[in-house]
Amino acid sequence: MKARFLPSLFLLLLMVNPVIELAAEDAAASQRSPSAEGATVDFRTLRDGDVVPPTFTVKFLISGMGIAPAGSHIDNTGHHHLLINVTELPDMDQPLPKSEQIRHFGKGQTEVELTLPEGQYSLQLLFADYAHRPHEPPLMSDKITITVAVGAVQAEEDS
């Protein structure tokens, strides 16, 4: 009895399959990796309003998810991105562009030493997946403003 249905089922699958494949491709193109519930990203030591010397260290903190290099598709992981003086957030449905203002840490780095001219800067961290796409929902820190000043001393301790 069951065997008699198989040929027609097979035919039906053949007919439907191209449509399924197309839909899957569309979904993959825009699909963002889910972020783990409760995960957060933040600066480890820098705080809003800090005054730092021209060469200073920015440490990144992710909790609730892991770090993996770009290109390594592992669930619940990603890598850090540092946004410098970015006023308008990039399109969250696309891989993040790479620029001086959007720095990728695709080797899995958790800190960077920056050298910047004196002045005020906004910094923001944005975590993204193996393909540089922000997670859903996106994981980003608050945007902080820091001042770079010759002679300033960066606080060493984690707060």
* Interface residues toward Cu ion, by CB under 5 A: 104, 106, 132
Least Å from the CB of residue 22 to Cu ion: 28
Quick one: 90 or 106, whose CB is closer to Cu ion?
Answer: 106
Q: Minimal distance in Å, beta carbon 87 to Cu ion?
A: 20
- The DSSP line for the chain is -HHHHHHHHHHHHHHHHHHHHHHHHHHHHHPPPBPPTT-EEEESS--TT-EE-SEEEEEEEEESSEE--TT---TTEEEEEEEES--SPPPTTSPPP-SSSEEE-TT--SEEEEE--SEEEEEEEEEE-TTSPEEEEEEEPPPEEEEE-TT-----S--
Would you say 132 or 135 has its CB closer to Cu ion?
Answer: 132
What's the closest the beta carbon of residue 127 comes to Cu ion, in angstroms? 9
Residue 32: both structure tokens together: 């963002």
Residue 73 Cβ, how far from Cu ion at the closest point, in Å? Answer: 13
Asked if 129 contacts 32 with a C-beta cutoff of 8 angstroms, the reply is yes
Q: Which is nearer to Cu ion, 104 or 135 (CB)?
A: 104
Q: Which is nearer to Cu ion, 53 or 136 (CB)?
A: 136
Of 119 and 137, the one with the shorter C-beta distance to Cu ion is 137
Q: Phi then psi for 11, rounded to 5 degrees? A: -60, -40
Minimum distance between the CB of residue 113 and Cu ion, rounded to whole angstroms?
Answer: 19
